[in-house]
Amino acid sequence: MVTDAPTTLLKPSDMGAEDPRLPGDRYARQALLAPVGHDGQRRISRTRVLLVGCGALGSGVADLLVRAGIGHLTIADRDYVELTNLQRQSLFDEADVENHLPKAEAAAARLRRINGEVVVTPVVADVNAGNVEALVASADLIVDGTDNFETRYLVNDAAVKLGRPWVYGGVIGSYGMTMTIRPGATACLRCVFPEPPAAGSAPTCDTAGVLGPAVALVAALEAAEALKLAVGADASLNPDLLAVDAWQCAFDRIPRPARRDDCPTCVRREFVFLDQRAPSQTTVLCGHDAVQVLVHPPVALDLAALAARLCVVGEVNSNRFLLRFREGADLPRELTVFPDGRAIVKGTTDPTEARVLYARYVGL
């Protein structure tokens, strides 16, 4: 049908500054989603998120949250970028490997280029009982991007103690799972899994591998839960333990039990992981053939001076974030030392050997 009625073009002034249809609004499509809307987008822009770990899961979560316009993202990660990370850790590239960058710093630089409106704070540190409360206290919610149960139980302690919701997630092989925990409203991690798995009893990425698409699936689910928490959509949160197998294309919803009457964490409020104020001195790192060595209390190393000492006995590469030292061309062992005295000793999974190498080249 032909009509003589003129075409009406809406101007920004006609629609108002809050209209999600504005072409210049980067969040327009997100704000059009009814459960989000303008009010939800404003809530998202005011939310502070702590991301613990920025490897495979953390990369995916961070990318999605920053693109969604989260207000402030703190990334706490102890590791540096390696070539084997690039298969599944979407924030990093070969230049990050060549420049020996810590993951938190490399991720922050990339995320700031993606969305300059979001405040991204990198924290290059091991999350342990000495610093986790301060990190959690500065956030409205926490997202799990770590690769070990020790840190997850520590985060659970701090989150319950301070009343912060957090999103648990993990992936191994092609299988992953996630669960959203709201202290006081849902069962906590120790209600569901009373104790961490015994050492050596669970598969690792060294033995089972990791499928990139499985990581992407769980990261997307975690990010969605974080956004629901940000906008206050509690009724839409995942109520159970959600498991997914990307290879078999299988999804399972495992009913989460109610809060345990005898839960030592959320009922008796005994924070045994948090109260271990002197962190473990050595930790075997998943996927690295490496051991992390901690010094307690942390120190302030002069990396330039250390480089000058070590260059006469081996190969040294350093920047302001870390120093990398290799004993010799024919020796596979390598030390990556951070300004707080922490080191990652690569080429061994023996904690004793790692401490010997640390004492020999850095000093204890």
212 three-class SS: helix
Residues 6+ apart with CB under 8 A from 162: 133, 136, 137
Radius of gyration of the chain from its Cα atoms, rounded to whole angstroms: 23
Task: Give yes or no: 205 in active site.
Answer: yes
Please give the structure tokens belonging to residue 326. 């290799």
Contact 20, 38 (CB under 8 A): yes
Q: Is 75 left (phi over 0), alpha (psi -120 to 50) or beta?
A: beta
The helix/strand count (H/E) of the chain reads as 13, 14
Q: How far is CA 57 from the centre of its chain?
A: 7
Peptide linkage before 297 cis (omega within 30 of 0): yes
Which of the residues 54, 191, 205, 263 is marked catalytic?
205
Q: Cα separation of 22 and 32, whole Å?
A: 11
Closest CA to 88 of 245, 218, 212: 212
Residues 6+ apart with CB under 8 A from 321: 100, 101, 102, 105, 124, 338, 339
123 three-class SS: strand
Dihedral sign computed on CA atoms, order 121, 81, 129, 220: positive
Please give the structure tokens belonging to residue 6. 């003129």
DSSP classification of residue 236 = G
Angle CA 149–131–350, to nearest 5 = 50
Q: Which residues are catalytic?
A: 205
